[in-house]
Structure 1
Amino acid sequence: AKIVSKWRVRNRISTLEWPAVSPDLSPTENVWDLLDRKVRRRYPRPRNADELWAALKEEWGNITWKVCQKLTDSMKSRVEACIKARGGATHY
């Protein structure tokens, strides 16, 4: 939005270059990976879409607040690593 850009310049607010669709800056990707691993470890594995949906909902409910907080807390380090890598790949 142009009005926001003008306001930002007028108020000397700097911005970061944000890599498009960067998994490094998306803790959600870590949550999906965690869910994927948990569902794949199930025995028996889900055999159809309904069982998969049920397994995903159950595993989603098992994710602790502590895990979510850890991912949120990692954002500062993620952004710093992205800046250091100049938008390239990081270890996240």
Structure 2
Amino acid sequence: MNSQEYQNVLQDNLLPFINSFEGNEVIFQQDNASVHVSRSTKAWLEANSIATLEWPACSPDLNPIENVWGWLVRQIYSQDKEYSSRNELKEAIERAWHELTSQMLSKYIHSMPNRIFEVIKKGGNTIDY
């Protein structure tokens, strides 16, 4: 994905989402992927009045969605499963996605205080989460 494609995704998805919170301050969180921090993306975010959370380079990734992605990958490729077609893989991803529960997501979100404590304890280095 390049910066323009990323900005199209933001245009089609982020803007409507943010607009649903009219009257409330929203701060957008993203990591330091090159398309997220490119000059054109920064200019796009500024032009659309989207505040972003500062994200230090080489910081441990505390975003709970990373745990969700990890869980999905483990589900999809459990027992060394391999897929013979793109459609078969897509179906496996959709099955795994539908197996996610609100309890699992809540567990990841509620682990944030412990994650932050661990990062502080390790002086900003990576943690085992």
- TM category (shorter chain) comes to 0.5 to 0.7
Does residue 31 of the first structure (1) align with residue 68 of the second (2)? Answer: yes
Q: Which runs of 4+ in 1 moved over 4 A?
A: none
Question: What is the alpha-carbon root mean square deviation over aligned residues?
Answer: 2.3
What corresponds to 2:124 in structure 1? 87
Aligned sequence identity (%) = 33
Checking the alignment, whether the CA contact within 8 Å between 2:60 and 2:127 is kept in structure 1 is no
Distance in structure 2 (CA, Å) of the matches to 1:70 and 1:59:
17
Q: Once structures 1 and 2 are overlaid, which stretch shifts more, 44-53 or 71-80?
A: 44-53
Task: Choose from 65, 71, 77 the match for 2:108.
Answer: 71
Superposed, which structure 2 residues align to 1:10-21 within 5 Å?
A: 19-20=56-57
TM-score by length of 1: 0.68
Which structure would you say has the larger RCO, counting Cα contacts within 8 Å and 6 or more residues apart?
1
Q: Aligned with 1:89: secondary structure?
A: coil
Q: After TM superposition, give the deviation of residue 64 of structure 1 in Å.
A: 0.8
2:75–2:96: 8 Å Cα contact kept in structure 1? yes
Structure 2 CA distance for partners of 1:55 and 1:42, relative to 1, 3 Å: farther
Ranges in structure 2 where 5+ consecutive residues have no aligned partner: 1-53
Paired with 1:56 and 1:38, the residues of 2 have a C-alpha distance of 9
Distance (Å, rounded) in 1 between the aligned partners of 2:88 and 2:106: 29
Give the unaligned 5+ runs of structure 1: 1-16
Larger Rg: 1
The change in CA–CA distance for 1:19 and 1:52 in structure 2 (over 3 A counts) is same
Structure 2 counterpart of 1:62, one-letter code: E
For this pair of structures, how many residues does the alignment match?
75
Normalised to the residue count of structure 2, the TM-score between the two structures is 0.50
Q: CA deviation at 1:43?
A: 8.7
